[in-house]
Amino acid sequence: NAGVMQNPRHLVRRRGQEARLRCSPMKGHSHVYWYRQLPEEGLKFMVYLQKENIIDESGMPKERFSAEFPKEGPSILRIQQVVRGDSAAYFCASSPRTGHTDTQYFGPGTRLTVL
């Protein structure tokens, strides 16, 4: 059973460009979470999605950031018009069950560098 997959592992963008980060949850998992980790800090929750639905986006900046988890394909975290402050590691996690708090399994992360 493959773990949570994220790609790319490293992404370099210039200010003003768009960044697209992809996450494929573990097989059988229908819940996806995105976290951001700034250097030397812990992870900060951004958004929680189920298939075709955003359940909780309370941690996501109101502008430039969006997330989706379509019926088919990976979850996408999209950052428009990136700025240097967006440079961070972005982690995706998945969990299997509905209506329960369950363990989240993390992907290897995508390290975004904004030049």
Partner 1 sequence: AQTVTQSQPEMSVQEAETVTLSCTYDTSENNYYLFWYKQPPSRQMILVIRQEAYKQQNATENRFSVNFQKAAKSFSLKISDSQLGDTAMYFCAFMKQGNNDMRFGAGTRLTVKP
Task: Say whether residue 18 binds partner 1 (CB under 8 A).
Answer: no
Closest to partner 1 by CB, 15 or 44 = 44
91 binds partner 1 (CB under 8 A): yes
Q: How many angstroms from the chain centroid is the CA of residue 21?
A: 7
Q: Which residues of 56-70 are buried (b: 16+ CB within 10 A; e: fewer)?
A: ebeebeeeebebbbe
Q: Which of 17, 19, 15, 5 is nearest to 77 (CA)?
A: 19
Is residue 11 near partner 1 by the rule CB under 8 A? no
Contact residues: partner 1, CB under 8 A: 33, 35, 40-45, 48, 55-56, 58-59, 89, 91, 93, 100-101, 103-106, 108-109, 111
